[in-house]
Amino acid sequence: MLVHLSELLKDAQEKKYALGAFNIENLETTLGVVNAAVKKVSPIILQVSETSIQYAGLKAITSIVQTIASVQAGDIPIALHLDHGRTFRAVAECVRAGFSSIMMDASDMPLTENIILTKQAVDFAHRKAVLTQGELGVVKGLEEIEEEERHKLMTDPEEAEKFVKATGVDTLAVAVGNVHGILKMQKGNPGLDLDRLEAIHKLIPDTPLVLHGASGLPEAQIQKGIVRGISIINIDTELRLAFTNTLRATLINDPEEFDPREVLAPSIFAIQKVAEEKIEMFGSAGAAKP
């Protein structure tokens, strides 16, 4: 069933696990992740980026999530979130469409602009009881930055405290060595700056922290992150790889098959397996038991 993110966050914080926030873009990826949540009896966040909204259409993707959450997911609680909203307009559209949380990502702007844009989104969302995520520090892809820049772009703990106070965000995406995208899957994930994460959490202990770019991050790092205040963990790249690599193999193995349902079923299952593994890793398996 579709629920408000606030319900999920409260339980995650009390029981000290993290919620998986899985990026989806169509019926098949949504089914794969939801099947995993049902199998593992786990609450989850389904999130869409602006690119996915452009691809599927806001109304269509919202309806897919709402319908699958109420039909296939049954009692398993699912929250719908806008990932990396870059404009006030995108945020406002998702608030109006019934999302229970949005991200305003102005992290690549100077601090003052980031605060102004994020606060504007927060004020609007809060009027409709929608939760908000901001980002401070910048989480880039390895292909976009050199090692030295990755360090420079990390979240400063004192600035994080100031940012949360000034904007009123409910959750904060942090840059603590985490990186987005595919290249880290090939080169190795550089890992988290756990001391920095701990320092941030100490200054804003009541603000759930969000870890972007978590594909490929080893379980030990994830668990150390959860102990240091990470309550939401974003996974996209590993889902995409599972879906597309499986699709490629399916088509090569059976070049005669032309029924899209036959061709896509193994990819849906591949997504499910990745999401199941992450749910176990994040400690949320069983958390949706009545």
- Contact positions toward Zn ion, by CB under 5 A? 212, 234
90: tokens are: 């995108």
Task: Tell me phi and psi for residue 10, to 5 degrees.
Answer: -60, -50
Chain-centroid distance of CA 8 in Å reads 14
Task: Say whether 254 is catalytic.
Answer: no
Minimum distance between the CB of residue 84 and ligand G3H, rounded to whole angstroms? Answer: 5
Q: Which of ligand G3H, ligand 13P, Zn ion, none binds 52 (CB below 5-8 Å, type-dependent)?
A: ligand G3H
Q: Do 45 and 258 contact (CB within 8 A), yes or no? A: no
Of 174, 234, 231, 176, which is closest to residue 206 (Cα–Cα)?
231
The residues of the shown chain that bind ligand 13P, judged by CB under 6 A, are 23, 83-84, 180-181, 212-215, 234-237
Alpha helices in 168-207 (DSSP H): 183-187, 194-203
- In the complex with ligand G3H, the residue whose CB is nearer, 51 or 70, is 51
- In the complex with ligand 13P, the residue whose CB is nearer, 214 or 288, is 214
Q: Which of ligand 13P, Zn ion, ligand G3H, none binds 189 (CB below 5-8 Å, type-dependent)?
A: none
Write the CB contacts of 114 (distance below 8 Å, at least 6 apart in sequence). Answer: 106, 107, 134, 135, 136, 163
**Beta-ladder partners of 131:** 101
- In the complex with ligand G3H, the residue whose CB is nearer, 24 or 78, is 24
Q: Which of 5, 21, 23, 32 binds ligand G3H (CB under 6 A)?
A: 23
Q: Which of ligand G3H, ligand 13P, Zn ion, none binds 51 (CB below 5-8 Å, type-dependent)?
A: ligand G3H
Length of the chain counted residue by residue: 290
**Which residues bind to ligand G3H, rule: CB under 6 A?**
23, 49, 51-52, 83-84, 180, 212, 236
